[in-house]
Amino acid sequence: MQEIQIGLLGAGVVGGGTLQALAQKGDRIAAALGCRLRVKRVLVRDPEKTREVPVDPALLTTCPEDILDDPAVQIVVELIGGEEPARSYIARALEQGKHVVTANKEVIAKHGFALLALAQKRRVNLFYEASVGGGIPIIAVLRRDLVANEISQIQAIINGTTNFILTEMEQGRDYAEALRHAQRLGYAEPDPRNDVEGIDAAYKLAILATLAFRTNVRPEDIPRTGITGLHAKDFRYAREMGYVIKLLATARRLDGEIEAAVHPALLPLDHHLASVKGVFNAVLIDGDQIDKLMLYGRGAGARPTSSAVLADICAVAQSILRGTPEPIDLRTDGARLRDFGEVESRFYLRMQVADQPGVLAQIARVLGDARISIASVIQKETDESARSAEIVLMTHLAKERRMAEALEQIRTLPVVRQVSSFIRVAK
Amino acid sequence: MQEIQIGLLGAGVVGGGTLQALAQKGDRIAAALGCRLRVKRVLVRDPEKTREVPVDPALLTTCPEDILDDPAVQIVVELIGGEEPARSYIARALEQGKHVVTANKEVIAKHGFALLALAQKRRVNLFYEASVGGGIPIIAVLRRDLVANEISQIQAIINGTTNFILTEMEQGRDYAEALRHAQRLGYAEPDPRNDVEGIDAAYKLAILATLAFRTNVRPEDIPRTGITGLHAKDFRYAREMGYVIKLLATARRLDGEIEAAVHPALLPLDHHLASVKGVFNAVLIDGDQIDKLMLYGRGAGARPTSSAVLADICAVAQSILRGTPEPIDLRTDGARLRDFGEVESRFYLRMQVADQPGVLAQIARVLGDARISIASVIQKETDESARSAEIVLMTHLAKERRMAEALEQIRTLPVVRQVSSFIRVAK
């Protein structure tokens, strides 16, 4: 039986999971493919380190050339993560005519186009299913199954860490407490910045939007707001009004332009994504043929992610056996990313104000002058002694720029002590 | 630009949708594929008939040989539906070395194995994404993206007609009324048997289970119960106990055997499938790597279904351009379908009984003797004059055979006037 040799870069959580799956399912996969997958070399930083998944010491190397320059290695699986040296390794592997499978969202989001062009030039495959949504086959579905669809919108919960934290806050915990819980469970890093500030979600959204809209959406161009400013109180008000709060990654095509953003959003309770809880991810796609399609599953973890890595490895193996790589489609419609100030949304606003007559009138006047109309208002007396009250209001559709300007003026009103929360409302 | 010629069998709802999509998206698809798809001939029963989607009369033919025997036709798209003559047409097309794309669940469920073997022999592709779940790419996901997974269970709502009817009954309508509404909206056929008796769902489940468990599950071997025996009242009791009622198609691997069945089931309100409403479909997959994956979308209709047909056509076109068909995996694990009597489940039971002391005790004794334990009971006085009461009970896990036997005895109890409902409870 023919053998295909794999070089693995990285033996961390996903790398270990992939090695384990390859070992456990080797025979089954071989029978399915009609060829054997063999891991020839594994690049690690520290060969002495004890690993959850033990690796044959003979396979370990600290020298990338042992894999990237080995002509016997046909598939390089990059599971190091981070921008460099991962990007250089991938580029070098492609240059050497090797197929590449990666789970690296940062590299694909920032350099996917260049690397795919290189893969096309060298007539090899570059697959990255595991870079978005863990075990959810969202890349394959967009790339292949929705080919007949004009996609108009993607709404996604694609960061499990933040969704876990927000699910905890829904139960009344405050942000710091929920974050600590996520860290205790290993869902959040000691330095959670990448997740809680929406950076990770922006990488994934850039990959999805680039595929869905056939345009090169760069992660640094995606406006993003993290979840660090959210308060348990907002979840209670949201519930009162029939909403939940999620970190939403959204991209849509509108009048030939692309809108893309990552930020917390109030979702109506009957929204398809409203019931996505804990570390689970979900991607909701609107297409002209399918109408709505949702994929839901585990967006992270060794097993789900290695499920995607193995699917890619098997697809590459098949294309090697068939003698031709899968075609790569680099055409772009050249649709532009819309200036965020021009993007329309509804807004949720929570303010501490002086408990005196005419306060709401002053705020309403500012919004009215900006031609932003109010959809609903809740006013509650909070602290009688301090004679302060709390106003929560939701607007109708308004442009980001107008809203930002109005917000500036509201902040300057003497009767407004503090604007505590400012959250977008999705539909 | 190279041209690939398509012969279309059938120009009904899905056929029309496919022709329309091919016309509207021809340029886009051509650009993506690097070749042009051209419909050379369309087989219809009546060329004179006026169609929603007008077809160039020059393309129409009533003679299948014009397509099946035309060497210029490389892809035959079968959208006639029904077992014959569709099966013979597909077989003949494959025999002639043509690739086949079909949306025919009945043919694939009953003859898929034989036809795939034929396709393998003639080195062509036989794709059937549209046969299950309309616009939901469930076949491709099972066939390709979950290759690394040992799948333990599939739970699915794969018949939109019945799910629409059940969603209506949830709102208090009775079956007949809900069915009429579905027929008025065109969701249900004038003769709804195929849908409401679970035949359609059994075809689809046979296809999914055969793929997921690599064993040949035949639709006639799948025990099924339709929805015609359900009462609006049961939906109220279910809600009271924290459940909804859905027509569930379920298959699982247990101790080397396969359990498969289609029947109404009480689903806990927090079940992933509990919120699937109206004509929407959803498939929930348990795999050892992915844990849980759910796909949700429109399971029928011209546009969603033709989205799947077009994806298959494009996949075939690519394999033609690449010069090799996609490999077909016909290996089976040979796992047997478990005798339904041996299948364990929980049960919901609603009975009209005499309103007198000791009735519940008698029923409990029958169940106790069968070693079936009761999980919960609701007893309500219904008609004082008739001195009759209603008992609703839910059991713990019990084997189908034992439950059937106990049910027989309960029916013979003089105090039991009628067993009105008998529904399985899923988790």
Chains A and B form CB pairs within 8 A to the count of 162
Full DSSP string of A290-335: TEEEEEEEE-SSHHHHHHHHHHHHHHHHHHHHHTSPPP-------P
User: Which of these three, A269, A290, A322, is where a domain ends?
Assistant: A322
Residue B272 structure tokens: 């992933």
**Same domain flag for A293 and A209:** yes
β-sheet bridge partners, residue B126: B100
Task: Provide the pLDDT confidence category of residue A284 given band limits of 50, 70 and 90.
Answer: very high
Query: Across chain B, what does the average pLDDT equal?
Result: 95
In chain A, the largest separation of any two C-alpha atoms, in whole Å, equals 84
The per-residue pLDDT for B61 is: 97
Cross-strand pairs, A10: none
What does the pLDDT read at residue B52? Answer: 84
* Nearest C-alpha in A relative to B136: A293
Evaluate whether residue A413 is within a structural domain. Answer: yes
- Please compute the mean of the pLDDT values over residues A95-111 and round it to a whole number: 98
Q: What is the 3-state secondary structure (H, E, C) of chain B?
A: CCEEEEEEECCCHHHHHHHHHHHHHHHHHHHHHCCEEEEEEEECCCCCCCCCCCCCHHHEECCCHHHHCCCCEEEEEECCCCCCCHHHHHHHHHHCCCEEEECCHHHHHHHHHHHHHHHHHCCCCEECHHHCCCCCCHHHHHHHHCCCCCEEEEEEECCHHHHHHHHHHHCCCCHHHHHHHHHHCCCCCCCCHHHHCCHHHHHHHHHHHHHHCCCCCCHHHCCECCCCCCCHHHHHHHHHCCEEEEEEEEEEEECCEEEEEEEEEEEECCCCCCCCCCCEEEEEEEECCCEEEEEEEECCCHHHHHHHHHHHHHHHHHHHHHCCCCCCCCCCCCCEECCHHHCEEEEEEEEEEECCCCHHHHHHHHHHHCCCCEEEEEEEEEECCCCEEEEEEEECCEEHHHHHHHHHHHHHCCCEEEEEEEEEECC
The answer as to whether A330 is a domain residue is: no
> How many angstroms away from the CA of A168 is the closest CA of chain B?
17
| Cβ contact B300:B204 at 8 Å | no
Q: Which domain holds residue B91?
A: 2-134+302-322
Report which DSSP code applies to A338. Answer: P
The CATH number of whichever domain residue A36 belongs to comes to 3.40.50.720
Nearest CB neighbour to A324, from listed B31, B293, B323 = B323
Please report the pLDDT score of residue A241 as a whole number.
95
3 state SS for B313-346 = HHHHHHHHHHCCCCCCCCCCCCCEECCHHHCEEE
Question: What average pLDDT does the segment A406-416 reach?
Answer: 96
CA distance A385 to A19: 64
- Tokens (6 digits) for A319: 């294309």
Q: Both A51 and A92 in a single domain?
A: yes
Closest in B129, B144, B318 to A327, CB measured: B318
Q: Are residues A367 and A240 both part of a single domain? A: no
Over residues A375-403, the mean pLDDT reads 90
CA distance B100 to B93: 7
Contact B290 A275 (CB under 8 A): no
**Which residues of chain B does A293 touch, with a Cβ-Cβ cutoff of 8 Å?**
135-137, 295-298
A25 within domain boundaries: yes
Please report whether residue B329 resides in a domain.
no
Question: Considering the entire predicted model, what is its pTM?
Answer: 0.96
Lowest mean pLDDT of A27-31, A158-162, B225-229, name the range.
A27-31
Chain B residue numbers touching A323 (CB-CB < 8 A): 323-324
Test B324 with A324 for CB contact under 8 angstroms.
yes
Q: Is the model more confident about A324 or about B65?
A: B65
pLDDT tens profile A323-375: 988 888 888 888 899 999 999 999 999 999 998 889 999 999 999 999 999 99
Q: Are residues B152 and B266 in the same domain?
A: yes
Q: Are the Cβ atoms of B290 and A272 closer than 8 angstroms?
A: no
Question: Quick check: A344 and A399 in contact, CB under 8 A?
Answer: yes
| Nearest CA-CA partner of B286 in B142, B97, B104, B127 | B142
Q: Are residues A399 and A364 in the same domain?
A: yes
Assess whether A247 and A161 both reside in one domain. Answer: yes
Rounded to whole angstroms, the Cα distance separating B15 from B325 reads: 24
A250 and A426 Cβ atoms separated by less than 8 Å? yes
Q: What is the pLDDT of residues A30-40, one digit of tens each?
A: 988 999 999 99
Total domains in chain B come to: 3
Q: In terms of CA atoms, which chain A residue is nearest residue B274?
A: A275
Q: Are residues B151 and B282 in the same domain?
A: yes
Phi/psi for B198 (5° steps) reads: 80, 10
Which of A43-52, B190-199, B273-282, B384-393 is the least confident region? B384-393
Question: What is the predicted ipTM?
Answer: 0.95
Residue B327 counted as domain residue: no
Nearest to B310 among A21, A135, A148 (CB): A148
Q: What is the pLDDT of residue A53?
A: 85
Taking only the tens place, the pLDDT of each residue in A285-332 is 999 999 999 999 999 999 999 999 999 999 999 999 999 888 888 888
pLDDT at B234: 96
In a domain, B94, yes or no: yes
Q: What is the pLDDT of residue A120?
A: 97
Instruction: Report the CATH number at residue A406.
Output: 3.30.70.260
Single out the residue in A232, A264, A298 at which a domain terminates. Answer: A298
User: Among candidates A220, A158, A232, A226, which has minimal Cα distance to A192?
Assistant: A226
pLDDT (tens digit per residue) in B326-377:
888 888 888 899 999 999 999 999 999 998 889 999 999 999 999 999 999 9
Planar angle of CA B33, B68, B90, nearest 5 degrees? 80
A31 and A118 both lie in a single domain? yes
In chain B, the percentage of residues whose pLDDT exceeds 70 is: 100
Are B310 and A289 inside 8 Å of each other by CB?
yes
The two structure tokens encoding residue A410: 């509201």
Q: Is the pLDDT of residue A186 over 90?
A: yes
Instruction: For residue A390, tell me if it sits in a domain.
Output: yes
pLDDT of A381 > 90? The answer is no
pLDDT tier for residue A380 given thresholds of 50, 70 and 90: confident
* pLDDT single digits (tens) B105-133: 999 999 999 999 999 999 999 999 999 99
With CA atoms as reference, the chain B residue closest to A311 would be B145
Judge if B67 and B31 occupy the same domain: yes
d(CA A253, CA A153): 6
Nearest to A311 among B34, B144, B295 (CB): B144
- Give the pLDDT score at B267: 98
Q: Are residues A75 and A25 in the same domain?
A: yes
CB contact under 8 A, A141 and B144: no
- C-beta atoms of B149 and A307 within 8 A: yes
Strand-pairing partners, residue A244, are A267
- Residue B334 domain-assigned? no
pLDDT band (50, 70, 90) for residue B384: confident
Which pLDDT does position A300 carry in this prediction?
93
Q: Residues A237, A365: one domain? A: no
Does residue A383 register a pLDDT over 80?
no
pLDDT reported for residue A54: 86
* Parallel/antiparallel/unpaired status of strands B374-383 and B291-298: unpaired
* DSSP 8-state assignment for residue A220: G
Residue of A270, A307, A316 to mutate for B, most B C-beta atoms under 10 A: A307
Say whether both A61 and A187 belong to one domain.
no
Does position B59 have pLDDT exceeding 80, yes or no?
yes
Which whole number is the average pLDDT over B36-51? 94
